[in-house]
């Protein structure tokens, strides 16, 4: 299982970027929210693995008849 890592970069103005790897679905949203705190979002996007993991999960559910 891929390790879930979070990289936070804080620039010279105190603004931050948060990069999540190995997360999928709601766990991804929660982690991003945890590190956002009260800060204002400038950019937020899901990356390819988020969607492929969501599709994998749906396929699993179909195969198992859920």
Of residues 44 and 66, the one with the C-beta less far from other proteins: 44
Site for other proteins contains 8 (CB under 8 A):
yes
Nearest-approach distance from CB 57 to other proteins, in angstroms: 13
Say which residues have a Cβ less than 8 Å from residue 28's Cβ, sequence separation at least 6. 20, 46, 50
User: What is the rounded CA–CA span in Å between residue 12 and residue 16?
Assistant: 9
Site for other proteins contains 36 (CB under 8 A):
yes
Tokens 């929210």 belong to: 33
Nearest-approach distance from CB 58 to other proteins, in angstroms: 16
């Amino acid at each position: 299982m891929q390790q879930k890592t979070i990289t936070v970069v804080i620039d010279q103005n105190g603004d931050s970027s948060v990069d999540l790897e190995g997360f999928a679905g709601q766990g991804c949203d929660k982690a991003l929210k945890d590190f956002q705190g009260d800060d204002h979002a400038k950019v937020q996007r899901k990356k390819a693995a988020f969607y492929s993991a969501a599709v994998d999960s749906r396929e699993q559910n179909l195969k198992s008849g859920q």
